[in-house]
Chains A and B, each alone.
Chain A
Amino acid sequence: MHAPLLKVENLTRMFPGVIALGGVDLEVPEGEIHALLGENGAGKSTLLKILSGAQSASSGAITFAGESYEPSSPIAAQRAGIVTIYQEFSLIPDITVAENIFLGRQPLRNGVVDWDRMIQLAGDICRRVGRTLDPRAIVRDLSVGDQQLVEISRALSMDARLIIMDEPTAALSGPEVTRLLELMRALRADGVTIIFVSHRLSEVMDVCDSYTVLRDGRLVGAGRVADTSVARLVASIVGRESAPTFKRAARKADAASPLLRVENLSYAGHGADAISLHDINLEVRRGEVLGIAGLVGAGRTQLARLIFGAELPSRGTIKLDGHATTIASPRDAIAAGIGLVPEDRKQQALFLDLSSSTNLSVTTLSGLTGWFGWVRERQEKRLFQDFRKKLAIKVSSSDQLVGNLSGGNQQKIILARWLALKPRLLIVDEPTRGVDVGAKAEIHALLCAIADEGVSVIVISSELPEILAVSDRIVVMCEGRVTGELEGEAANETNVARLMLPGATH
């Protein structure tokens, strides 16, 4: 083991009301590949942002190459020798590979870009990443894997001593993954240190020397990869001391005639970060809460959007009450009695400049109108007051702008919007994202109460405790596929976690 190149001590980052990182230590030995592990929301992103200079720490110390390290910006971090490659590439798609590599640092001659030299230098670096990338190629025309090589080439051109890769294999195909892991080994042999963030534990076991595990913003494990196993890493990643604050009472839904059946549903994602779905099969029973677990990018949201008609499947059938139903738009879905509470409230559900009552009645307004589409505002207000009482929505008045409400109350208004339609199936994607702890338990109870009234509810969540707390049954997805279905005793944290982590099953 080598001396640490990067040493993080007692690093803390606080956001209003939230501790994103609580006194984390991290040691990355020089010339090693170090795995940074944890669930979504464990604090990895915050740590990466601090290391890459995109955010500052609230307190704590970082030492890099023996010197105190406190980057004021991403550029400062790069000058110091730390380059971060995010999942979303920072390449400019319409210019050449060489220009991207030397963006902002083009070799000059007499004040103009020295193209010959730039192409030549870029060619040298591209050879180092082990592939015949044409420096004159336009980045847009490259595959995702090759674009990543351009990112790595850029890091190398800056003489980076530490390269941080945030889930670099998530968007790659099998052979591209193998190639990338090879390249990482080659870079290690050249003396480059790498921090590797991945949910794929098999890759971690394959290529990494040491690891650190974060959970809920705290350090929960660190050590040598050779001394651990996939099972122990999984336990360390998901293990939780705190019990969920809400637990759905055990009940058995009628399995004989499911409300919704999805058969061989597939979706071909296009573009660099699109997610494809492969032959999804599942059913939703009447009056049950079906949890869909999985990591970000597993395709859960895509599945919800297909069922809701926001996107069209490339193949497969959706059956309602046993009959194949064409759902070509959200309007079709709504007509069939399906509602969707999307994961991104502000972008996809709320009209921030409109009143709370308008936001609630938007789905039911045609039923509240008289001649010439005149809105019967008194009925509208009554509807609002009904739900305000029923769901304990905290608003000053029905006219209060929905943008001024708390996350939990906004979420309740969106739930009410669908409940007012008396749906048969309600899909709730990340029900408590951006919702504080108190309102969280309230929303969990609400979702279960909705199911108890006979509505089928699909709950999608990245938070395992949430899924475990509210679901009657759990379907687990991973990389666009259903990897398992769990019910009763089997629906526990260990089983779900094993099914949602890629590579953990084989």
Chain B
Amino acid sequence: MSSSEGMAEAIKSSAGSNTKGALASRAIKLAPLLFLLVIVVFFGLMNERFFSVRNLFNIANEVSVFGLMAVGATFVILAAGIDLSVGSILALAGMVAAVVLTGGTMSSFSIDGAAAQGFGWAAAFLAALAVGAACGGLQGLATTKLRVPAFVVTLGGMSAFRGATLVISGGGPIATSDPAFRWWGQGRVLFDTVPTPVVIFIVVALLAHLTLRYTKFGRDVYAVGGNAQAARLAGLNVDRTITWVYLISGLLAGLAGFLLSARLGSSEAVAGAGFELRVIASVVIGGTSLFGGVGGIGGTVIGALLIGVLLNGLVMLNVNVYWQQIIVGLIIVLAVAFNIFARRGLGRS
């Protein structure tokens, strides 16, 4: 075995080169946060109503819904997967919640809305979560057992779950007027200040962070995403881990669907269409690698805030809706490009 002097020398030199790398990687981690602050200041200067309490709650409410899905997507992407079906799961879960709540597929156009007997918000809540988890878990099994690429499985799920929503609703929206139900979307907690969905988002994000950072399951997600082959050879249950991340993604999309339905007072079959873009963008802008194994919830929350602020700010500036789409699309691509270049620049040996 080598002498301890040589060892100390080696440690010193490697520590020296490491602090430089650590600094650079910290700068990359901070970049989305800086960008967020910049656009917040920018929109605040451009329009004084941007900083109004009402608008800030608007942003927070909006971010809470797709932010929950982004938290779920973080598990999936960390495990080197992808879930395109979250928008459709949101719609299906929201619709199922409305049906359970109202006791029938009564369209809101119907005059006699109160005739059917419902099952209450708790049943609706559980139903939405169960539907979401089932959709996600099913997709997870399809990827692991049938060996169909996740991209294809969830692309199929995106279509199938949307179709199922339309079948249940018959195409029309279902109104949800139960006050206890609507509290989940429109109520306030903590001395009537913070909107319920925001609190739920914060709690879920925190739990997700703790899970990824401090539990064996979280470690497994990083290991499977970082190197699936090595994970298998180290004895990890790769298939089970992958199935779980899709289940979690579906579950959180179901929760988001429940909250959105409660907030809008109505479940619509088109709800959440196109959400996969902002969900995946939140994750990737937040620094999680699309190749898996690198990233975390903290970045995703910042990414979701960034997208929420951007969407809101462009509306406040009266930017044409069509142009909004172009701008959001461009920013997403540029943010990802930045992330990739920055990582390459770091030059991991």
Contact = CB atoms under 8 A, between A and B. Distances in A.
Interface of A: 308, 310, 329-331, 334, 340, 342, 347-354, 358, 362-363, 365-366, 369, 372-375, 377, 392, 394-397, 400-401, 403-405, 417, 438, 442, 445
10 contacts: A310-B232, A351-B293, A352-B348, A354-B222, A372-B215, A373-B216, A392-B7, A394-B10, A404-B18, A445-B1
Given A351-B226, A352-B226, A438-B2, A366 B348 contact: no
Interface string B206-244: 000000001111010011001101111111110000000
A442 B7 CA distance: 13
A374 B214 contact: yes
Nearest to A350: B230
B11 interface: yes
B349 A363 contact: no
A362 B14 contact: no
Nearest to B227: A351
B299 to A, nearest CB: 14
Contact of B219 (A334, A365, A401): A365
B179 interface: no
Given A347-B229, A404-B349, 15 more contacts: A310-B232, A330-B232, A347-B230, A351-B226, A352-B227, A353-B222, A353-B294, A369-B216, A373-B215, A375-B219, A400-B14, A404-B21, A405-B14, A417-B234, A445-B1
A311 to B, nearest CB: 11
A394 B232 contact: no
A363 B215 contact: no
Contact of A396 (B15, B294, B348): B15
B157 to A, nearest CB: 28
Nearest to A418: B234
Contacts of B11: 394-396
B233 A330 contact: yes
Contacts of A396: 11, 14-15, 18
A475 to B, nearest CB: 23
A186 B293 CA distance: 55
Residue among A351, A397, A438 facing the most chain B CB atoms (10 A cut-off): A351
Contacts of A347: 227, 229-230
Contacts of A342: 233
B233 A348 contact: yes
Given A331-B237, A362-B234, A396-B18, A353 B293 contact: yes
Contacts of B232: 310, 329-330
Contacts of A350: 227, 230
Contacts of B233: 308, 310, 330, 340, 342, 348-349
B2 A392 contact: yes
Contacts of B230: 347-351
B234 A363 contact: yes
Contacts of A405: 14
Contacts, number: 100
A351 B223 contact: yes
A351 B222 contact: yes
The 7 closest A-B pairs by CB, nearest first: A396-B15, A373-B216, A373-B215, A334-B235, A351-B226, A394-B10, A392-B1
Contact of B214 (A351, A375, A438): A375
Interface in B232-273: 232-237
A401 B21 CA distance: 11
A399 B16 CA distance: 14
A84 B312 CA distance: 61
Given A310-B233, A353-B294, A375 B215 contact: yes
B204 to A, nearest CB: 16
Interface in B271-327: 293-294
A267 to B, nearest CB: 17
B293 A354 contact: yes
A438 B229 CA distance: 29
A262 B74 CA distance: 44
A404 B14 contact: yes
Contacts of A377: 214
Given A347-B230, A403-B348, A362 B15 contact: no
Interface in B1-28: 1-2, 7, 10-11, 14-15, 17-18, 21
A86 B157 CA distance: 44
Contact of B348 (A334, A404, A445): A404
B349 A403 contact: yes
B127 to A, nearest CB: 26
Nearest to A376: B214
B217 to A, nearest CB: 5
Given A362-B223, A363-B235, A373 B217 contact: yes
Contacts of B214: 374-375, 377
A300 B222 CA distance: 31
A71 B190 CA distance: 75
B226 A353 contact: yes
B21 A375 contact: no
A438 B217 CA distance: 38
Contacts of A354: 222-223, 226, 293
A374 B237 contact: no
A347 B229 CA distance: 7
Nearest to A308: B233
Contacts of B216: 365-366, 369, 373, 375
B277 to A, nearest CB: 26
B234 A442 contact: no
Nearest to B236: A362
Contacts of A404: 14, 17-18, 21, 348-349
B295 to A, nearest CB: 10
Contacts of B236: 362
B260 to A, nearest CB: 29
A406 B49 CA distance: 56
Nearest to B19: A396
A375 to B, nearest CB: 6
Contacts of B2: 392, 438, 442
A442 B1 contact: yes
Nearest to B237: A331
A400 B14 CA distance: 9
A160 to B, nearest CB: 39
A173 to B, nearest CB: 30
Contacts of B293: 351, 353-354
A365 B226 CA distance: 17
Contacts of B7: 392, 394
B88 to A, nearest CB: 31
A434 to B, nearest CB: 13
Given A350-B227, A351-B227, A403-B348, A358 B219 contact: yes
A157 B334 CA distance: 47
A374 B222 contact: no
A401 B222 CA distance: 14
Contacts of A372: 215
Interface string B63-81: 0000000000000000000
